[in-house]
Chains A and B, each alone.
Chain A
Amino acid sequence: MNGIGQGSMAREAVSWAVALAWIAAVLFILMALVGAPFGDALAAFLQNAFGGRRFSYLMATLSRTALIAGMAVSVMLSFRAGLFNIGGEGQLVAGGLAAALAALLLPGPPLFVLTASILAAMLAGAGWALLAGVMQLYVGVPLLVGSLLLNYPIRYIASYVVAHPFRDVQSGMVQSHLVPQATWLSYFPGTRLDIGILFIVAVSLFAVVYSRATVHGYHARMNGLSPAFARTVGLPVSKLTLQTLAMSGAVAGLVGAIAVFGMHHRYIDGMLVQPLYAWTGIIAVLLVGMIPWAVPLSGLFFAAIQTGAAGMERSAGVPKEIALVMQAVIILFVASRVSGALVASSERKAGATDDA
């Protein structure tokens, strides 16, 4: 018994080592292409991901973590329920836009404006996700396709809104006016890290409790593992789908609000799309196979890769897009280990394709 366990563990270790060697080889070749010194680049990477004067870079990593982990939790809620919602980006943009507009338009005391704006953002995110859900349930457009396609209209709507009616023309950039300063999320004392991350910590805790201990989470997971089973034993599948999507979208909307009030203090065209927060969130979930408590850590990991890569660019002249390549290669190597709800969902997607 013991021998078998050790043998398979050794095999596992070797296969991980081989994967790591492959990833290292890819990165080495890419760096060699730009003639960057490997050692310096690595040092710059680590320094910029976790170091800095008074850990300022670590703070940058953490504030990016907030957004990525938030998107990862949003995605996880859908994926665990077998809902292949890859429209997180659209829901994020809807939330960010709603938050900025609400803060610019609503009168009243700052705390009220902030609260109302965050709620508006969550509603907008939930609404955008529900749109994809309704299209799947009542029109027969597969969620995978519907949620993805909805990313584009909202992206352009947001772009139009901050380019024309709500543009801060004097700034010369395509961006909205600043939201009232009193609504900005405050920084942790002595740092440039805003308290938005606390919202994400709360959301992550909620997600863990929801997934493990609630009836709704249990039912959603049964639907994720086998949609046919969920239908057969009489779980309210349509309701589950819509509620889960709304929850997932609301979290994405919240992340958009945090980006507005904590990081940029306005809506800048492309600020939520270009950094690929939503896609990074998806791969953060895939990396750890949808284990709720591990998802935020996975988000931290990818945030570190991105800020580290930005540092490599500054210090060693390695284009920061190496981070994307790194993320993609990592996911390729762990892809075969992703199982469970996701596999079930891609089976269903095959079924949905038959319908569509």
Chain B
Amino acid sequence: MRVALSGITVRFGALTAVDDASLVIEPGEIHAIVGENGAGKTTLMNVLFGLVAPEAGTISLDGKEMRWASPQEAIRHGLGMVHQHFMLQESMTVLENVVLCAEPVGRFGFVDFAAARRRLAVVADEHGIAMDLDRPVGRLSVGERQVVEVLKMLYREAEVLILDEPTSVLTPLEKDRLFATLRSFRSAEKAIVLITHKLDEVMELADRVSVMRAGRLVRSGPLSATSKEEIARGIIGGELPPARQRTARTPGEEVLIVRDLKVAGRGGTVGPLSLSVRAGEIVGIAGVSGNGQAELIQAITGLAPSLSGEIVLCGRPIGNLDVEDRRLIGMSYIPEDRQRMGLALGATVSENANAGRDDSASFTRGPFLDRAAMAGFARQLIERYRIRTGGPTALASTMSGGNKQKLVVGRELARDTPLVIAENPTWGVDIGAIDFIHGELMRMRDEGHAVLLVSTELDEVLALSDRILVMYSGAFAGEVAGAEADRERIGSMMTSRVVDALPEVA
């Protein structure tokens, strides 16, 4: 089936998310759509899938103009989508998930699971997919869940398959398997749309590539007619910032020591984990999301209790202290979830900037607040971290993702603590803000702070870390020095326990 989008425009309030975009998706082709976060890729595909109604523009399938009232109509016409956040019910089995919303029903609306099972066996066989249909999805790994999503599309006999950032949660091996499946779809003359921000994948897989920037489609054409550099320039609208220079530095004494730490996690106990971070170094923790990083960080920050083991900060055991005391001893924390944990969105910029400050005397008078001093501090942060906002009294919810993150980073780094913990600090922000935040973390390192960086973006870990720990299945699979880090080796550690004997990390 041939899909043509022409002149699509979507506005959310004052923001133009997609601006007059036109493109064609051919059957038997893998069409990559690339661009930064917020460039409008996902919104454009949500339009095609009937989740968002465009303000202007048309969709046509095989030359026939379509107007979706709901995703159900799009699904009926052969479209399928795998969303970035999986659309699955964890408590349900694979089979229940697959049939949900497309249930074969018998009498009185009861679901005919036997018929569904038969039909599913046929399609899964066709593309060489094996999956136990009776396991609850909550027990599946991330990669397996993606297979469930793919099965859902096959079950609905989708002819056009849209995948939104499908590899962001996969290990390299799982990624290869997914790509093989996608190639099998291509030979079955299905049309495949791959939304991604990873250029290597585009080069590896795509037949045709479209580049979006700030809501506009800046180029669209066969992959063979362009180059990686050209696509990159299209994405950011100019040259890439130069690679970061690392100043040589001998790390100082150990600021954070973790010994044999065990934490309760989903699915089982995480640990025992041991690590140390010294003054003047960035220790990166790489790994696919959900391998115990969140539990480790929660235990170190005091947000969750640890089961056993020892945590020492600046020479003092902190395992039994609460969050407030740990922060006072010398810890800052940039959480992954800025919307819930990093900021109180309903409060003002000033209220957010002053929360958790140690020097409460400088913005209070007895039990009362000194609003002027609070605003003054907020203004300092706004200037120092180039935060674009309406001012100290603007609500935090009115800022863009990048500026929200800069506010969180600014508030935490301004505390100037010996230890800084950054958890996916650049998740979902634009390239400008990423560069700025990376620069700030590097500055902290150069000034002699200890930085613990957890990131699921391997590139980020590689770019910043002096040492890299790889986490897999609740344990460290290995350690690599930043200078000699090798993508392939780290990639293999991300999928298995200790490969070869490595020195004890501590």
- CB pair B337–A228 under 8 Å, yes or no, is yes
Residues of B within 8 A of A341 (CB): 346
Q: Find A226's partner among B324, B343, B369 (CB 8 Å cutoff).
A: B343
The answer for the CA separation of A228 and B355 in the assembled complex, in Å, is 13
Query: Roughly how many angstroms separate A226 CA and B369 CA in the complex, as a whole number?
Result: 20
Shortest CB distance B421–A (Å) = 11
B16 / chain A contacts, CB cutoff of 8 Å: none
Contact A226 B356 (CB under 8 A): no
* B185 nearest CB across to chain A (Å): 38
Set of chain A residues within 8 Å of B335, measured between Cβ atoms: 232
- Least CB distance, A12 to chain B, in whole angstroms: 17
Write the nearest CB–CB distance from B344 to chain A, whole angstroms: 4
Residues of chain A lying within 8 A (CB to CB) of residue B346: 225-226, 339-341, 344
Are the C-beta atoms of B323 and A215 separated by less than 8 Å?
A: no
Q: Chain B's nearest CB lies how many Å from the CB of A205?
A: 15
Q: Does A233 interact with chain B (Cβ within 8 Å)?
A: yes
Chain B residues near A235: list those with CB within 8 A.
324, 355-356
Partner-binding segment picked from A99-107, A155-163, A216-224, A263-271: A216-224
Residues from chain A with Cβ under 8 Å of B368 in the complex: 213-215
Cβ of B49 within 8 Å of any chain A Cβ, yes or no, is no
- In the complex, per-residue mask of A101-128: 1 if CB is within 8 Å of any chain B CB, else 0: 0000000000000000000000000000
A172 part of interface (Cβ distance < 8 Å):
no
**Residue among A231, A232, A344 with max Cβ neighbours from chain B (10 Å):** A232
Which chain B residues border A232 with CB–CB below 8 Å?
301, 303, 323, 333, 335, 341-342, 356
Given the interface pairs A213-B368, A216-B367, the reply to whether A229 lies near B344 with Cβ below 8 Å is yes
Q: How many chain A residues touch B (Cβ–Cβ < 8 Å)?
A: 23
A340 to B347, CA, bound (A): 9
* B345 on interface, CB distance cutoff 8 Å: yes
What per-residue 1/0 map shows which CB atoms of A284-320 lie under 8 Å from chain B?
0000000000000000000000000000000000000
Interface size of B in residues (CB-CB distance below 8 Å): 28
Q: Which residues of B contact A344 (CB under 8 A)?
A: 346
Task: Evaluate contact between A215 and B367: CB separation under 8 angstroms.
Answer: yes
A81 to B: closest C-beta gap in Å:
12
Q: Label chain A's interface by main secondary structure.
A: helix
Cα separation A341 to B346 with both chains bound (whole Å) = 8
Minimum CB–CB distance from A291 to chain B (whole Å) comes to 14
Judge whether B341 and A229 touch: CB under 8 Å: yes
Which residues on B sit within 8 Å (CB–CB) of A219?
Answer: 355
- A240 → B minimal CB distance (Å): 11
Residues of A within 8 A of B341 (CB): 226, 228-229, 231-232
Report the Cα distance A354→B388, complex, angstroms: 38
Task: State A339–B368 Cα separation when bound (angstroms).
Answer: 26
- Check A234 against B356 for contact (C-beta < 8 Å): yes
Taking CB atoms, residues of chain A closer than 8 Å to B445 are none
Decide if A35 is an interface residue (CB 8 Å cutoff): no
Nearest B residue to A229, CB-CB: B344
Which residues of A sit under 8 angstroms from B340, Cβ to Cβ? Answer: 226, 228-229
Cα distance A219–B346 when bound, in Å?
13
Residues of B within 8 A of A221 (CB): 347, 351
Report which residue of A233, A235, A339, A340 has the largest number of chain B beta carbons within 10 angstroms of its beta carbon: A233
Report B281-307 residues with CB < 8 Å from chain A CB.
301, 303
A236 interface residue per 8 A CB criterion: yes
Is the CB–CB distance between A225 and B347 below 8 Å?
yes
| A238 to B, closest residue via Cβ | B322
CB pair A226 B303 closer than 8 Å: no
**B400 contacts A by Cβ under 8 Å:** no
CA distance A52 to B342 in the complex (A): 56
Contact status of A229 and B343, CB under 8 A, knowing A218-B351, A234-B324, A236-B324: yes
A230 to B342: give the CA distance in the assembly, Å: 9
Task: Looking at the assembled complex, report how far the CB atom of B371 sits from the nearest CB atom of chain A, in whole angstroms.
Answer: 8
Q: Cβ of A233 and Cβ of B356 under 8 Å apart? A: yes
Q: Does B360 contact A (CB under 8 A)?
A: yes
Cα separation A162 to B29 with both chains bound (whole Å): 83
Could you tell me the distance between the alpha carbons of A213 and B372 in the complex, rounded to whole angstroms? 12
B226 interfacial by beta-carbon distance below 8 Å: no
CA gap between A215 and B355 in the complex, in Å: 10
Is B327 located at the chain interface by the 8 A CB criterion? yes
> Please, what's the 1-or-0 string for A197-221, where 1 marks a CB less than 8 Å from any CB in chain B?
0000000000000000111101101
Contact check, B344 vs A231: say whether CB atoms are below 8 A apart.
no
* Contacting pair A214 B333 (CB below 8 A): no
Asked whether B344 lies within 8 Å of A214 as measured between CB atoms, the reply is no
**A222 touches which one: B324, B347, B371 (CB < 8 A)?**
B347
* Nearest CB in chain A: distance from B405 CB, A: 14
User: When each residue 359-385 of chain B gets 1 if its CB lies under 8 Å from chain A and 0 otherwise, what string results?
Assistant: 010001001110100000000000000
B367 CB contacts on chain A under 8 angstroms: 214-216
> B344 and A222: CB pair below 8 A?
yes
Known: A215-B360, A228-B340. A234 touches B327 (CB 8 A): yes
Knowing A225-B346, A232-B342 are in contact, say whether A215-B303 is a contact too (CB < 8 A). Answer: no
Q: Would you give the 0/1 interface string for B293-333, flagging 1 where the beta carbon is closer than 8 Å to chain A?
A: 00000000101000000000000000000111011100001
Q: Nearest 7 CB-CB pairs, A to B?
A: A233-B356, A234-B324, A225-B344, A226-B344, A232-B341, A225-B346, A234-B323
| B residues neighboring A (CB under 8 Å) | 301, 303, 322-324, 326-328, 333, 335, 337, 340-347, 351, 355-356, 360, 364, 367-369, 371
Q: A222-B344, A222-B355, A236-B324 known; 19 other A-B pairs, CB under 8 Å?
A: A213-B368, A215-B364, A216-B367, A218-B351, A226-B343, A226-B344, A229-B343, A229-B344, A232-B301, A232-B303, A232-B335, A232-B342, A232-B356, A233-B355, A233-B356, A235-B356, A339-B346, A341-B346, A344-B346
CB-defined A-B contacts under 8 Å, sample of 23: A214-B369, A215-B364, A215-B367, A215-B368, A215-B369, A221-B351, A222-B344, A226-B340, A228-B337, A228-B340, A230-B355, A231-B303, A232-B303, A232-B323, A232-B341, A233-B327, A233-B355, A234-B323, A235-B356, A236-B322, A236-B324, A339-B346, A344-B346
